[in-house]
């Protein structure tokens, strides 16, 4: 099994409660802060994104309700992703590291990204 490139290897996850964001530090020295509302709307599960013949939750009702963007817990899924639990109990989305990196690059805005030189 090959090692994923540095830009897809997280070295730390944390909560940035002050900015209401998930903090992801990557092996290439980039740190992303993905706002909770962006993370929730990007939930990859079938209920949120939809599946063949069924519209996803955000296609039907795009506005977030109270608690839907309150991050309650996170946990690693194998060596490829992160499971997120929301305060409303939703917990079926697994965000791959590639998805998190893309959200950091495009979903959080430039002000939510910092880079430090890697060794």
**Residue 50 included in any domain:** yes
Per-residue pLDDT tens digits for 104-116: 998 765 567 777 7
**Residue 115 included in any domain:** no
**Residue 119 included in any domain:** no
Bridge pairing between strands 113-115 and 30-35? antiparallel
Number of domains, the chain: 1
pTM, to two decimals: 0.86
Q: Which residue has the tokens 């509302």?
A: 37
Contacts of 3 (CB under 8 A, 6+ apart): 9
**Residue 79 included in any domain:** yes
Which CATH number characterizes residue 15's domain?
3.30.2020.30
- Residue 64: the pLDDT is 94
Range of the domain at 60: 6-107
Q: Which residue has the tokens 């993370």?
A: 39
**Residue 100 included in any domain:** yes
Per-residue pLDDT tens digits for 16-53: 999 999 999 999 999 999 999 999 999 999 999 999 88
**Residue 31 included in any domain:** yes
């Amino acid at each position: 099994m090959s090692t994923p490139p540095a830009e897809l290897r997280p070295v730390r996850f944390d909560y940035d409660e002050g900015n209401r964001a998930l903090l992801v530090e990557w092996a290439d020295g980039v740190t992303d802060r993905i706002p909770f509302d962006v993370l929730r709307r990007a939930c990859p599960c079938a209920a949120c994104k939809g599946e063949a013949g069924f519209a996803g939750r955000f296609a039907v009702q795009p506005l977030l309700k109270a608690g839907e963007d309150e991050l309650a817990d996170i946990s690693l899924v194998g060596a490829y992703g992160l499971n997120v639990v929301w305060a409303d109990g939703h917990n079926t989305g697994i965000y791959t590291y590639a998805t998190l990196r893309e959200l950091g690059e495009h979903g959080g805005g430039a002000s939510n990204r910092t880079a430090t030189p890697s060794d």
